[in-house]
Amino acid sequence: MPYETLKLSTPKPVLSWANHELGSEETKMAKNVASLPFVFKHVALMPDVHLGKGALVGSVIATKEAIIPAAVGVDVGCGMCAVKLPFIGEQVEGKLKKIRQEIEAAIPVGFNDNKEIEKAVTNWQGWREFKDLHSKVQNLESKAMKQMGSLGGGNHFIELCLDAENNVWLMLHSGSRHIGNMLAQNHIDTAKHLAKLAELKLPDPDLAYFVSGTPEFAAYWNDLQWAQHYARLNRDIMMARFKRIVEKAIAGGKPTKPLLEVNCHHNYSEKEVHFGEEVYVTRKGAVRAAEQDYGIIPGSMGAKSFIVKGKGNHDSYCSCSHGAGRLMSRTKAKKQFSLDDLIQQTQGIECRKDEGVIDEIPGAYKPIDEVMKQQSDLVEVVATLKQILCVKG
């Protein structure tokens, strides 16, 4: 489905790949962003768009000479990685419960961290740059080290999947943990403070921004890139452990060569060239989908997920959705669904089936097939995955 230009009276247009009308709060949020003077050309909304903080989740915002920290968000570098292994479904039959138990023992979830720090973590060159990060996080280096290789909570997950040809895939979703959150919060506070001092008339205080060429912009950009690298390595560390667990269960621990590896952010900002100009592209709940880029679009727990390849659609700033997108809030999901609903909707999947994960029930998310139809001009599907094991954060 091609995009539609929303009927909004804003200085810059808003192009939407969602086939539903935005609610009043969502419309207001889209208008607020499209009204900012430094927004480049237009704002692009992905099919999974929904309410966020300051800017909509599922929005792609290209800017000139400025960046909005709250639009990037607090889970800096949050994203996904997936690995296709040379195994087939029959090889994991009868082993899923044990694999899940070993994942839960090897990879901390929620607020937990690692008790021991492995070499791949201590050897990361990023620690040498830690002293250059925001002064208010200087006491967090030890915590950041211990959390490297941990999942976090909320909608973060680890899944073992099968594709349509019965091949085994490993997939996980995580970000930059506490250190990324603290870096983001401190810079958001600074941006709001500067906006107040300058008496800027912003449509929303969460749209406070930094102007390029200022020390505050340079400090934020430095910390942002660091946190994005941390998030990517965090996923790599967990995936390496996950891969060893599956290899042990299937091949007696013999290392295997992945057939395909994908690792992509969906909460981040980068410098890119679009329409012949260098701009800052912030993807808040969106994946880069330049031509030949591999990406991951997960459904909910119990639904299909997709490995995709970008088509390089410049109207979307070469982007696509980052998932199905929530249909309802966590609070509403807990009120609307019961434990029986969760058990029924996750039938056949080795996962937690308790009241602690009811807010992640498939029924709380948009139908992923519908979301995929709406972005056929943005990506092509490389593999369709169905999870058979899921560990939630």
Q: Which of 42, 50, 265, 322 is catalytic?
A: 322
In angstroms, the CA 174 to CA 77 distance is 8
- Has 120 been labeled as part of a binding site? no
- Has 372 been labeled as part of a binding site? no
- Has 299 been labeled as part of a binding site? yes
- Has 324 been labeled as part of a binding site? yes
CA dist list (Å): 360 to 31, 47, 178, 195, 324: 30, 19, 21, 37, 12
- Has 392 been labeled as part of a binding site? yes
- Has 290 been labeled as part of a binding site? no
- Has 301 been labeled as part of a binding site? yes
- Has 253 been labeled as part of a binding site? no
- Has 23 been labeled as part of a binding site? no
- Has 349 been labeled as part of a binding site? no
- Has 158 been labeled as part of a binding site? yes
- Has 229 been labeled as part of a binding site? no
- Has 134 been labeled as part of a binding site? no
C-alpha atoms less than 13 angstroms from C-alpha of 358 in its C-beta half-sphere: 14
- Has 266 been labeled as part of a binding site? yes
- Has 325 been labeled as part of a binding site? yes
- Has 42 been labeled as part of a binding site? no
- Has 321 been labeled as part of a binding site? no
Whether residue 193 lies in the annotated active site: no
The two tokens of residue 210 are 């930094």
Helix/strand/coil (H/E/C) assignment for every residue in the chain: CCCEECCCCCCCCEEECCCCCCCHHHHHHHHHHHCCCCEEEEEEEEEEEECCCCCCEEEEEEECCEECHHHHCCCCCCEEEEEEEEEEHHHHCCCHHHHHHHHHHHCCCCCCCCCCCCHHHHCCHHHHHHHHCCHHHHHHHHHHHHHCCCCCCCCCEEEEEEECCCEEEEEEEECCHHHHHHHHHHHHHHHHHHHHHCCCCCCCHHHCCEECCCHHHHHHHHHHHHHHHHHHHHHHHHHHHHHHHHHHHHHCCCCCCCCEEEEEECEEEEEEEECCEEEEEEEECEEECCCCCEEEECCCCCCEEEEEEECCCHHHCCEEECCCCECCCHHHHHHHCCHHHHHHHCCCCEECCCHHHHHHCHHHECCHHHHHHCCCCCEEEEEEEEEEEEEEC
* Annotated binding-site ranges: 75, 155-159, 173, 266-267, 298-301, 305, 322-325, 392
Residues making up the annotated binding site for Mn(2+) are 75, 156, 173, 266
- Return the active site residues: 322
Residues annotated in the binding site for GMP, as ranges? Answer: 155-159, 266-267, 298-301, 305, 322-325, 392
